[in-house]
């Protein structure tokens, strides 16, 4: 999933606090960050294996769909790679999932009471029903936001809604919803099916989950191209009688076991405190998932390699995690959080750092935790000193829809890095063109170098200013970050009025 955040990223301003004073506050012992960062920079520049291992895995494995034979191969590849880097504490953390996979799907558009069918290229969105055969009038709900559905609430029941995956000509300040949330709204208003219009030109079809829970939904949800969406909207205007959609699909769903892969670097004097750094290893099945999320997961593994190569021994433990099941509903990260919660170990996680489609970072993201801003400002300044090309543009905005979310909903502090991907790369998101040719090796190397610096600074700090929030603090934090509505749509808002 990209991490198509439901809130726009917001920048914050550097605090007028002396860098020297802040370094004194947080780093009173051990080698200075500038020396460590210089060593990290040199090691990554000369010996990074992130691009090479991603290219190798893409060639040998192909896609990395959770629950498939390819997914199991990817888990084994990651396990063996981390072992080869010198990690003795590498383990599988298995979890059971309902594994969805596509089978057949067709979409035909036809005027009411007519047999003049027009075939439309289509891809099923994940967690659509195992079998669906529907015919219904097409209702255009535009961008598919809450207001769009509410404005047509009396017209939707029993119809097939046509909605944009992204935002087309949005009103100022409008925030997009995830495709799963738009599908949830369609179900809530009684629609019989959903057609999502991809807004990328070039007849690009994408996949991804249409379920907010990771479980099967009750109506079929499909993706059509921008060009098909434009044609259907034109036909709606031209036809005297209502236009109808006929969706026939079959899919597969079965219980399987998947595995997160975890390598632990034990802390030198605070081993029971840990930083979790992760990226999802799984991908969808239309391509190899080089961008989503090969660039992130293989960067995580190369960060692990860098720590071993330099014999870095930070104060806190680090867990390098390759999550499976992210694309099908954050399944691996949910399983890990539940396991930590059951063992009463969530308080030991001082930070969760997630790399999902992170590329060529330009700044650190405090994820809405104001108390972390001075701390991260010092780290960002040290990173820029080590690598002047690092833009060091800070951010302070939380978002949803990736493996940090289960941690964040339990009050665990989250940290991120903001970067960029070219438009031509983003256009292949979840599509059959997401392949290794899209990956920029130098930019991925930057992800490794900056990620390793940030990770070391977190793990070795004398004091981390953030703590796990209480339940009520978490509620207020999520509300302040503008995430309440999206979580309510997803039935993940656990607080009562």
**CATH (domain of 106):** 3.50.30.30
Is residue 19 predicted with pLDDT exceeding 50?
A: no
Residues 131 and 69 in one domain: no
Beta-carbon contacts of 320 under 8 Å, excluding residues fewer than 6 positions away, are: 82, 262, 263, 264, 265, 277, 278, 300, 301, 303, 304
Between 7 and 452, residue with greater pLDDT: 452
Radius of gyration of the chain (CA): 23
pLDDT in the model for residue 302:
99
Domain count, the chain: 2
pLDDT in the model for residue 128:
97
198 inside domain: yes
DSSP letter assigned to residue 209:
B
Write the secondary structure of 1-41 as one string of H (helix), E (strand) and C (coil): CCCCCCCCCCCCCCCCCCHHHHHHHHCCCCCCHHHHHHHHH
CA separation for the pair 263, 280 (Å, rounded) = 14
Check the CA dihedral 77-82-84-85 and report its sign: positive
pLDDT in the model for residue 11:
30
> Token pair of 213, please?
């829970």
112 inside domain: yes
261 inside domain: no
496 inside domain: no
Beta-carbon contacts of 293 under 8 Å, excluding residues fewer than 6 positions away, are: 279, 280, 281, 283, 326, 355, 356, 357
- Domain boundaries, position 126: 100-252
Is residue 25 predicted with pLDDT exceeding 60?
A: no
Is residue 238 predicted with pLDDT exceeding 90?
A: no
pLDDT in the model for residue 256:
85
CA separation for the pair 39, 339 (Å, rounded) = 36
Residues 388 and 271 in one domain: yes
Residue-wise over 207-219: b if at least 16 C-beta within 10 A, else e? bbbbbbebebbeb
Name the domain boundary from 252, 286, 307: 252
- CA count, 13 A, side-chain hemisphere, 311: 0
In the predicted model, what is the mean pLDDT of the chain?
92
Give the residue from 473, 350, 457, 354 showing the smallest Cα distance to 413. 350
pLDDT in the model for residue 7:
33
359 inside domain: yes
- Read off the pLDDT of residues 51-91 as tens digits, 9 standing for 90 and up: 999 999 999 999 999 999 999 999 999 999 999 999 999 99
DSSP letter assigned to residue 461:
-
Give the residue from 300, 235, 411, 330 showing the smallest Cα distance to 53. 300
Is residue 389 predicted with pLDDT exceeding 80?
A: yes
Residues 444 and 297 in one domain: yes
Q: How many CB atoms lie within 10 A of CB 89?
A: 12
Give Cα 101 to chain centroid, integer Å. 20
CA separation for the pair 306, 448 (Å, rounded) = 9
Percentage of the chain beyond pLDDT 70 is 93
Is residue 33 predicted with pLDDT exceeding 60?
A: yes
pLDDT in the model for residue 2:
47
Question: Do residues 265 and 300 lie in contact, with contact meaning Cβ atoms separated by under 8 Å?
Answer: no
**CATH number of domain containing 443:** 3.40.630.10
Name the domain boundary from 252, 280, 307: 252
Question: Do residues 101 and 68 lie in contact, with contact meaning Cβ atoms separated by under 8 Å?
Answer: yes
29 inside domain: yes
**Given pLDDT bands bounded at 50, 70 and 90, which one contains residue 301?**
very high
231 inside domain: yes
Give the residue from 324, 335, 334, 347 showing the smallest Cα distance to 259. 324
> Token pair of 410, please?
């339990």
**Given pLDDT bands bounded at 50, 70 and 90, which one contains residue 135?**
very high
Give the residue from 282, 261, 276, 260 showing the smallest Cα distance to 326. 282
Check the CA dihedral 106-137-6-217 and report its sign: negative
Helix (H, G, I), strand (E, B) or coil at 268: coil
- Read off the pLDDT of residues 351-363 as tens digits, 9 standing for 90 and up: 999 999 999 999 9
Check the CA dihedral 359-10-181-340 and report its sign: positive
**What value does the mean pLDDT take over residues 5-26?**
37
142 inside domain: yes
Give Cα 320 to chain centroid, integer Å. 17
- Read off the pLDDT of residues 244-266 as tens digits, 9 standing for 90 and up: 999 999 999 999 899 999 999 99
Crossing angle of helices 295-309 and 50-60, in 10° steps, is 130
Question: Do residues 242 and 138 lie in contact, with contact meaning Cβ atoms separated by under 8 Å?
Answer: yes
Is residue 32 predicted with pLDDT exceeding 90?
A: no
Residues 124 and 72 in one domain: no
Give the residue from 252, 213, 228, 256 showing the smallest Cα distance to 107. 228
- Read off the pLDDT of residues 405-450 as tens digits, 9 standing for 90 and up: 999 999 999 999 999 999 999 999 999 999 999 999 999 999 999 9
- Read off the pLDDT of residues 97-111 as tens digits, 9 standing for 90 and up: 778 899 999 999 998
């Amino acid at each position: 999933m990209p991490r198509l955040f439901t809130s726009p990223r917001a920048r914050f301003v550097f605090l007028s606090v002396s860098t020297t004073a802040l370094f004194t506050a947080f780093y009173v012992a051990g080698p200075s960050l500038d020396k460590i960062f210089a060593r990290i920079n040199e090691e990554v520049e000369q010996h990074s294996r992130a691009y090479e291992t991603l290219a190798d895995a893409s060639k040998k494995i192909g896609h990395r769909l959770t629950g498939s034979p390819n997914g199991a191969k990817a888990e084994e590849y990651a396990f063996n790679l981390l072992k080869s880097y010198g990690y003795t504490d590498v383990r599988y953390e298995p979890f059971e999932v309902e594994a969805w996979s596509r089978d057949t799907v067709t979409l035909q558009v036809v005027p009411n009471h007519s047999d003049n069918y027009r075939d439309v290229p289509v891809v099923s969105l994940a967690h659509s029903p195992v079998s669906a055969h529907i015919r219904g009038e097409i209702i255009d709900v535009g961008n598919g936001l809450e207001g769009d559905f509410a404005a047509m609430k009396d017209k939707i029941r029993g119809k097939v809604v046509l909605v944009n995956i992204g935002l087309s000509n949005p009103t100022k300040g409008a925030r997009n919803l995830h495709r799963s949330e738009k599908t949830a709204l369609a179900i809530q208003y009684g629609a019989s099916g959903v057609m999502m219009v991809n807004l990328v030109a070039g007849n690009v079809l994408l996949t991804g989950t249409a379920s907010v829970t990771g479980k099967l939904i009750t109506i079929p949800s499909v993706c059509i191209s921008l060009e098909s969406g434009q044609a259907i909207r034109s036909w709606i205007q031209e036809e005297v009688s209502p236009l109808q959609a006929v969706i026939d699909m079959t899919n597969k769903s079965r219980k399987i076991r998947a595995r997160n892969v975890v390598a632990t670097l034990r802390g030198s004097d605070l081993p029971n405190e840990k930083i979790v750094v992760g990226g999802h290893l799984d991908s969808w099945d239309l391509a190899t998932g080089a961008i989503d999320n090969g660039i992130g997961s293989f960067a995580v593994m190369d960060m692990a390699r860098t720590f071993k190569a330099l014999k870095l021994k930070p104060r806190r433990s680090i867990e390098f995690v390759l999550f499976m099941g992210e694309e099908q509903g954050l399944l691996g990260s949910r399983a890990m959080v539940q396991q930590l919660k059951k063992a009463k170990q969530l308080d030991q996680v001082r930070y969760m750092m997630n790399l999902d489609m992170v590329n060529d970072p330009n700044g650190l993201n405090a994820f809405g935790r104001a108390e972390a801003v001075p701390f991260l400002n010092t780290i960002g300044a040290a990173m820029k000193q080590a690598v002047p090309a690092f833009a060091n543009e800070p951010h302070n905005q939380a978002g949803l829809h990736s493996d940090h979310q289960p941690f964040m909903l339990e009050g665990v502090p989250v940290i991120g890095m903001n970067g960029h991907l070219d438009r031509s790369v983003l256009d292949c998101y979840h599509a059959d063109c997401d392949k290794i040719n899209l990956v920029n090796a130098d930019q991925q190397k930057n992800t490794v170098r900056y990620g390793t610096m940030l990770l070391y600074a977190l793990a070795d700090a004398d004091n981390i200013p953030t703590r796990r929030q209480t339940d009520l603090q978490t509620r207020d934090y999520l509300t302040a970050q503008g995430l309440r509505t999206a979580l309510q749509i997803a039935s993940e808002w656990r607080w009562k009025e």
